[in-house]
Amino acid sequence: MKNSRIAIIMSFLFLVDFCAAQSEVLQISNFGGTPNSDITQAFIKAWTLACASPTPTKIVIPAGTYMLTGIDVKGPCKAPIEIQVDGTIQAPSDINLVQKGSDQWVRFQYINSLTLSGQGVFDGQGADVWKQGRAAWKKGSSTSTKISMNLGFNFLNNTIIRDITSKDSKFFHIMVLACNNITFDGVTVTAPAMSPNTDGIHIGKSTDVKILNSNIGTGDDCVSLGDGSRKVTVQNVNCGPGHGISVGSLGKYTTEDHVAGLLVKNCTLKETDNGLRIKTWPSAPGTITITDMNFEDITMIDVLNPIIIDQEYCPYNQCSKENPSKIKISKVSFKNVHGTSKTPEGVIFICSSGVPCDEVELNNIDLTFNGAPTKAKCSNVRPIVIGKAPACQA
């Protein structure tokens, strides 16, 4: 009898603990958020309640189309929060109607254990901005300080973004800044090839970032690493259209931090303007290092400049190349890269004459241009060649 009582008590305590651990579900409709309406205030109310809750909470935005002028939600919160979005959330197409003073339309900051999930779409409605071309970003223009990114993840720890879609951002789609342990899994990023400055996922000053099993096609870099990026993995990602997977550009500012520890593995790049790229500015003051960059098991399909290190990066020729880049690049490997190039040079290494590249490895590179093997153009570097790879020419 005593053992039976103990078993009953233990079972009761387990059920109490189990129920306490279950997420409280907050439907956006309970806060006034309904399809075909602006849910800005409804989301803020739901977030405020979730953030104050001592138990895990899920905010649910079901199927339907919703409007959102912009949100900037912050922690710290008392327990993990999941936001499940299954609807389409639209930003104002007019940049003057997006939340004032924000360069990110939907922003999350200073939170531990955030999950953003669901089959939903964040639609930035950026077409009106793209029509203006480079003029929209010209310093001093009426629009340059108002153009917002779709999603900002800033100062977050232990974060998962799963299955959601970012569509037609006015500017970068996703910014990752000062985060630790953040994973993107099954994410879709989409914008037309002609949409300027619509980088897919840009990473800066963050550690342990994973981009997995995702499809990214934009008018700029699919993935880009800014300064301070460390321990980044990009795996099973399809990239294109866009400008490829890039490290940089770097070296423009003295405040930049070192970049180290990148693995790009089992990715396919299709009809991108560049493939795997590291880019730094010439005649610039930055003196950081870029090291331990690894690219392996990569498929190229009709890619311009499939493999490129460019330490004379100077878009639109609006800078001087008089002085070499001060950025030191070392320990870079390209392994098992195959497919087709749209340029005769499948490999271009333009390293700095001031600080030449060290320990750059080409291992089993099989790229063709119009059916013939591609060439390699190299300066200020002596690649380590293993297996098949084009011989360097000046």
CA 345 and chain centroid, separation: 28
Say if residues 217 and 241 touch (Cβ distance below 8 Å). yes
Band (pLDDT 50/70/90 cuts) for residue 142 is low
Whole-angstrom distance, CA of residue 274 vs CA of residue 87? 34
pTM: 0.93
Which one-letter DSSP state was computed for residue 391? P
**Confidence (pLDDT) at 36:** 98
176: β partners: 153, 203
pLDDT per position as a tens digit, 100-127: 768 999 999 999 999 999 999 999 999 9
Of the candidate ranges 82-91, 135-144, 331-340, 343-352, the one whose mean pLDDT is the lowest = 135-144
CA atoms within 13 A on the CB side of 32: 8
Q: Is the pLDDT of residue 143 over 50?
A: yes
**Confidence (pLDDT) at 333:** 98
CA 2 and chain centroid, separation: 59
Say if residues 96 and 117 touch (Cβ distance below 8 Å). no
360: β partners: 332
Q: Is the pLDDT of residue 153 over 80?
A: yes
The mean pLDDT value for 213-219 works out to: 98
Q: Is the pLDDT of residue 2 over 90?
A: no
Task: Phi first, then psi: give them for residue 145, nearest 5 degrees.
Answer: -95, 5
Whole-angstrom distance, CA of residue 344 vs CA of residue 372? 9
Look up residue 177 and give its two tokens.
Answer: 């800044």
H or E element, residue 50: helix 40-52
To the nearest whole percent, how much of the chain has pLDDT over 70? 92
Which H, E and C letters describe 210-250, residue by residue?
A: EEEEEEEECCCCCEEECCCCEEEEEEEEEECCCCCEEEEEE
Band (pLDDT 50/70/90 cuts) for residue 141 is low
**Confidence (pLDDT) at 125:** 97
To the nearest whole percent, how much of the chain has pLDDT over 90? 86
Band (pLDDT 50/70/90 cuts) for residue 23 is confident
90: β partners: 67, 123
Which amino acid makes up residue 334? F
Say if residues 262 and 304 touch (Cβ distance below 8 Å). no
Q: Render the burial of 114-138: b for 16+ CB within 10 Å, e for the rest.
A: bbbbbebbbbbbbeebbeeeeebbe
Say if residues 214 and 235 touch (Cβ distance below 8 Å). no
Catalytic one of 173, 202, 243, 258: 243
Of the candidate ranges 82-96, 217-231, 283-297, 310-324, the one whose mean pLDDT is the lowest = 310-324
Say if residues 304 and 336 touch (Cβ distance below 8 Å). no
Band (pLDDT 50/70/90 cuts) for residue 53 is very high
**Confidence (pLDDT) at 273:** 96
Q: Is the pLDDT of residue 10 over 60?
A: no
Whole-angstrom distance, CA of residue 45 vs CA of residue 34? 14
- Is 243 labeled as catalytic in the residue annotation? yes
Whole-angstrom distance, CA of residue 277 vs CA of residue 268? 14
pLDDT per position as a tens digit, 254-300: 999 999 999 999 999 999 999 999 999 999 999 999 999 999 999 99
CA 70 and chain centroid, separation: 20
